[in-house]
Amino acid sequence: MIRRPSQPRERGIPEATVARLPLYLRALNGMAERGLATVSSEDLAAAAGVNSAKLRKDLSHLGSYGTRGVGYDVEYLIYQISRELGLTQDWAVAIVGVGNLGRALANYGGFVSRGFRVAALLDADPEVVGDHIAGLNVEHIDELETVIRLRGVSIVVLATPAAAAQQVADRVVAAGVTSILNFAPVVLSVPEGVDIRKVDLSIELQILAFHEQRKMDRMTGGPAMADEWPEAVDL
């Protein structure tokens, strides 16, 4: 039961740290490919685009895996982060909604590589059901519960239209899935204990537009004085 370098910390890694670990992992994989054996917090932080103190504090939550005066062993750190993130096992992912976006995701090789495996494609449209995409057969949404159970799906990617998303999410949760990645522009309501992450293109664009507008205002000296409600309205 003796552990060589040092124990990993008591459970409880800050959420902000968890969100950065994949970034470190990606940078480390690049370094491993280029044959680097060790890396300093300074260099790794630069590659990941973060402050080096932050990087060290993040890693310290996993355990004391560095060597003072030297840095971190690249392969060892890759292993530790992978283990912490749960990438040493394979996760079966189902994609629900095989339209424009669902197809792009299914064809995307990038996430199959690391720990994730697309185990099913599901759609409600009879036109789409039966299509072959990226070596998979698109199945009917009626099969949802069966597929989840039999193939051990633990993560569902939602790429249906917004109107169908909540309804599909309810079924998915009822079938026992507790992790959902949602691309539909709706606020899903799910029970306690179910993790939802959302990717929302239009929100990202709106945030960019906000800053873009600020930059333009700064150029022209203040907003173009359009503060009034355009039509005369009585509140």
Ligand X SMILES: NC(=O)c1ccc[n+]([C@@H]2O[C@H](COP(=O)([O-])OP(=O)(O)OC[C@H]3O[C@@H](n4cnc5c(N)ncnc54)[C@H](O)[C@@H]3O)[C@@H](O)[C@H]2O)c1
Partner DNA sequence: GTCCCTTTGTGAACCGATGCACAAAGTGAG
Partner DNA sequence: CTCACTTTGTGCATCGGTTCACAAAGGGAC
Q: Which of residues 114-153 bind ligand X (CB under 6 A)?
A: 122-125, 128, 141
Q: For residue 70, give the nearest of 94, 36, 100, 22 by alpha carbon.
A: 36
Contact partner at residue 168 from DNA, a copy of itself, ligand X, none, CB < 5 to 8 Å by partner kind: ligand X
- Smallest distance from the beta carbon of 59 to a copy of itself, in angstroms? 15
Question: Is the CB of 51 or the CB of 88 nearer to a copy of itself?
Answer: 88
Dihedral sign computed on CA atoms, order 189, 193, 196, 197: positive
E runs forming strands in the chain? 38-39, 66-67, 71-73, 91-96, 116-123, 132-133, 136-140, 153-158, 179-182, 195-198
Contacting positions for DNA (CB under 7 A): 14-17, 40-42, 50-54, 56-57, 59-60, 64-72
Residue 27 C-beta: closest distance to DNA, Å? 13
| Residue 93 touches a copy of itself, criterion: CB under 8 A | yes
What is the smallest separation between the CB atom of 34 and DNA, expressed in angstroms? 17
Distance CA 120, CA 137 (A): 8
Q: Is 110 in the site for a copy of itself (CB under 8 A)?
A: yes
Q: Which 165-204 residues touch a copy of itself, going by CB under 8 A?
A: 178-181, 185, 187, 189, 193, 195, 197, 199-204
In this structure, the chain runs to a length of: 235
User: Is the separation of the CB atoms in 117 and 142 below 8 Å?
Assistant: no
Residue 145 · residue 139 · CB < 8 Å: no
76 touches a copy of itself (CB under 8 A): yes
Q: Which of 34, 68, 132, 215 binds a copy of itself (CB under 8 A)?
A: 215
Ligand-binding annotation for 135, yes or no, is: no
Is 176 marked as binding a ligand?
Answer: no
99 a known binding residue?
A: yes
Is 138 within any annotated ligand binding site?
Answer: no
Nearest partner of 72 among 27, 31, 36, 41, judged by Cα: 41
Task: Give the residue with the Cβ less far from a copy of itself, 70 or 142.
Answer: 70
| CA-wise closest residue to 121 among 162, 145, 149, 157 | 157
Q: What is the CA radius of gyration of the chain?
A: 23
CB closer to a copy of itself out of 14 and 142:
14
User: Which residues make up each annotated binding site for NAD(+)?
Assistant: 97-102
